[in-house]
Amino acid sequence: MKKCLCQAAFAVKRQKGSPLAERYYQIQSRRGSQKATIALAHQLLKIAYILLKEQITYPEFLAQKKTTRDELVA
């Protein structure tokens, strides 16, 4: 499973403008490439868990996350 998540992390880090890719490069600058890949794989696993647990789609997850962030700011 770790190999699959790392392969997904490699794919995500190549996407331009992706928030997850931006997170990867933030971690990479501080911790290095390997640790950043594992951190991104862990983030993907957490997102997959939430999607399965709450039975929602990824766009719904993003909208929910944005709403929560807006409530914290207000």
Distance CA 12, CA 51 (A): 17
Distance CA 74, CA 71 (A): 5
Distance CA 73, CA 46 (A): 24
Question: What are the sequence ranges of the domains in the chain?
Answer: 2-73
DSSP state of 25: H
Is 60 exceeded by the pLDDT of residue 13? yes
Please enumerate in sequence order all residues whose Cβ is within 8 A of that of 53, keeping only pairs 6 or more positions apart, or say none.
none
For the entire predicted model, the pTM comes to 0.81
Average pLDDT over residues 54-61: 89
Average pLDDT over residues 13-37: 93
pLDDT of 64 reads 83
Phi, psi of 66 (to 5 degrees): -65, -40
